[in-house]
Amino acid sequence: MTSDLLHQHCQACKTGDSALSANEVAELLERLDGWALNGLRISKTYAFKDYYQTIAFVNAIAWMTHREDHHPDLQVGYNHCTVEYSTHSVGGLSTNDFICAAKVDALYQS
């Protein structure tokens, strides 16, 4: 299910674009494993063996999000990282958030 999101690329939001509806968010969230809706954001926490693995993951996210030009908020600890996505320009969630969430999951499984 995430493969369709995984193979898409983020599109720049244009003036006047609006956030996804609650139904659209629910449908896209079903395609992701372990992601949760927190208000106007989606988030997931990833666990690691140690700090080195955590930072390697953060660096991989940085590379991917730079290419997609859609950046998450990250909360980094010794052996965990919480990734949160939202699209500030639309005041909520966009398809870009779900595309990047699928790509973060793929990085974690690599």
pLDDT computed for residue 17 by the predictor: 85
Give me 56's structure tokens: 């390697």
pLDDT computed for residue 1 by the predictor: 52
pLDDT in tens, the chain (110 residues): 566 898 899 998 877 789 999 999 999 999 999 999 999 999 999 999 999 999 999 999 999 999 999 999 999 999 999 999 999 999 999 999 999 999 999 999 87
Range of the domain at 70: 2-6+37-109
- Residue 53: give its domain's CATH number: 3.30.1360.20
With vertex at residue 105, the alpha carbon angle to CA 27 and CA 78, rounded to the nearest 5 degrees, is 130
Q: Is residue 66 part of a domain?
A: yes
Q: Is residue 13 part of a domain?
A: no
pLDDT computed for residue 63 by the predictor: 97
Q: Is residue 45 part of a domain?
A: yes
Number of domains in the chain: 1
* 85: nearest Cα among 46, 45, 41, 40: 41
